[in-house]
């Protein structure tokens, strides 16, 4: 992919979609969690829950009334960290829990849950907390390049191809950090965002088939989007929320717990 100069059409479109969604609960929630009140500490239980939900949303519908959204809202969370740690056969427990909640690809997700718990227990938690602290301790001033580099490294550090979380490529790694409120510039480029960008009257295009298998391609696309957002004077995480909200036919209830990671 060749990075092109940003066009006026792209800048105006980003400004307009964010302005149109100013009152949407989705955008307001994203702005509050990721910009106004980002987390100061990372709880293992919350990271684990968001990780599991991200794994589920990557392979099935995840609207406000979907099976995965109902699973995420259930209290106590059926696949909570403590519950999973207590299982003698975690794969079987996770598979049956997912099946009982009507989710697809249960055997595959269950095996990944088992693999990811083992990784976290064998040094992964230290890696996760290191990446978290690196991002939140990186200044986000007039020059965003340092913050972008920090967020990008945190995303790389969670990917399965880096030896970390099974089932996590460049999109879902960014989805996880974003739904935890940690990141502002590195966003998950899902099909909604790609369709929105590819519909603009500009020369910049994204090939979704290349995004998830080619990390450099993903990062080049991300760099272009960050440049457009910089010129439009909005943060990429705001742009992402606005596009997501504009494409959703079902309205999300205010303060919904699935807001951050409900993506296909």
- Asked if residue 251 belongs to a domain, the reply is yes
- Asked if residue 238 belongs to a domain, the reply is yes
- Asked if residue 3 belongs to a domain, the reply is no
- Asked if residue 138 belongs to a domain, the reply is yes
Which residues, including other chains, have CB under 8 Å from residue 42's CB and lie 6 or more apart? 128, 129, 132, 180, 182
- Asked if residue 141 belongs to a domain, the reply is yes
Domain count, the chain: 1
- Asked if residue 159 belongs to a domain, the reply is yes
- Print the domain residue range for 27: 8-259
List pLDDT tens digits, range 166-210. 999 999 999 999 999 999 999 999 989 999 999 999 999 999 989
pTM above 0.75, yes or no: yes
- Asked if residue 237 belongs to a domain, the reply is yes
Which residue positions in the chain have pLDDT lower than 50?
A: 252-257, 259-264
Q: Enumerate the β-bridge partners of residue 165.
A: 159
- Asked if residue 73 belongs to a domain, the reply is yes
């Amino acid at each position: 992919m060749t990075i092109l100069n940003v066009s006026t059409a792209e800048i105006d479109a980003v400004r307009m979609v964010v302005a149109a969604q100013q009152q949407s609960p989705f955008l307001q929630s994203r702005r509050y969690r990721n910009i106004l009140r980002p987390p100061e500490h990372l709880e293992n239980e919350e990271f684990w829950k968001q990780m599991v939900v991200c794994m589920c949303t990557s392979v099935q519908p995840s609207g406000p009334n979907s099976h995965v959204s109902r699973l995420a809202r259930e209290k106590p969370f059926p696949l909570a960290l403590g519950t999973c740690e207590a299982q003698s056969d975690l794969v079987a427990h996770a598979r049956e829990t997912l099946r009982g909640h009507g989710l697809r690809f249960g055997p595959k997700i269950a095996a990944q849950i088992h693999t990811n718990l083992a990784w976290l227990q064998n040094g992964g938690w230290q890696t996760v907390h290191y990446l978290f602290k690196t991002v939140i301790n990186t200044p986000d001033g007039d020059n965003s390049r340092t913050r972008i580099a920090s967020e990008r490294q945190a995303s790389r550090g969670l990917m399965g191809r880096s030896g970390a979380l099974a089932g996590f490529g460049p999109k879902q790694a960014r989805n996880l950090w974003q739904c935890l409120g940690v990141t502002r510039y590195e966003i998950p480029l899902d099909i909604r965002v790609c369709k929105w960008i590819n519909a603009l009257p500009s020369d910049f295009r994204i090939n979704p088939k290349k995004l998830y298998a080619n990390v450099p391609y993903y990062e080049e696309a991300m760099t272009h989007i960050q440049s457009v957002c910089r010129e439009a004077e909005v943060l990429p995480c705001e742009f992402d929320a606005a596009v997501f909200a504009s494409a959703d036919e079902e309205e999300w209830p205010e303060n919904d717990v699935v807001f951050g990671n409900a993506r296909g």
